[in-house]
Amino acid sequence: MSSLVPGAFSRAFASDDDAELRQAERDVTHAFEGAPFDFSALLAISNVFRAATGVRNHMEREVLSQHQLSWSAFVVLFVLRVWGKQESHRLASEAGITAGTLTGVLSTLERRGFAKRAVHPSDKRRVIVSPTARGRRAVDEIMPLFNRHEAQLTVELSPGDKRELSRLLRTVLRTLDDELSGDGASSGD
């Protein structure tokens, strides 16, 4: 077991020190010793979560705060910039947020002149969201710095490592999509 003081576990798990992270992983394994867990799966998903949370926090702090955008607002704007106008339910799905969160995000984006909502022409209950020219320019302005930070965060990975990481994460995402759709089976890459 770790020589960490009680209550220090969360700090060790949030550490950027490789030795501390490995020790935290050993501590997790030890804490559930004897349980019928797939520890390699537990640690893999734990690392996915920690990496995603860390990247999101970093990008919000170092890139998006300069533009007064949350991660969710940026993702919505990014989706609109790349794929154009969207029905609100599809936009929420593409951005990985709930319809309720999208409503709040769109209020902010509209107030700032980055997006606009319109009633669907054939169904007044549906909403179409479009980026404005100002919203497209905001994404175009943010992306170079955002990508420099992406490159910084992956500098220790070779181009092949980055491709393999992307492939592996797509596999996890496909499996998750299959589970959510009730399919239960995933396809390989």
Chain segment 19-76, per-residue pLDDT in tens: 888 888 888 888 888 888 888 898 899 889 989 999 999 999 999 999 999 999 999 9
- Whether residue 169 contacts residue 157, with contact meaning beta carbons closer than 8 Å, is answered with no
pLDDT for position 15: 64
Average pLDDT over residues 139-154: 97
Average pLDDT over residues 89-116: 95
Say which CATH class 69-152 falls into: mainly alpha
What percentage of residues in the chain have a pLDDT greater than 70? 88
pLDDT for position 3: 45
Start-to-end CA distance of the chain, whole Å, equals 38
Higher-pLDDT residue of 66, 13: 66
CA 35 vs. chain centroid, Å, equals 30
Write down the residue that tokens 């992306």 correspond to: 143
pLDDT for position 82: 96
Write down the residue that tokens 């992270």 correspond to: 21
Residue 164 sits at φ, ψ, to 5 deg, of -65, -40
Per-domain residue ranges of the chain: 69-152, 157-189
Q: How confident is the model at residue 12 (pLDDT cuts 50, 70, 90)?
A: low
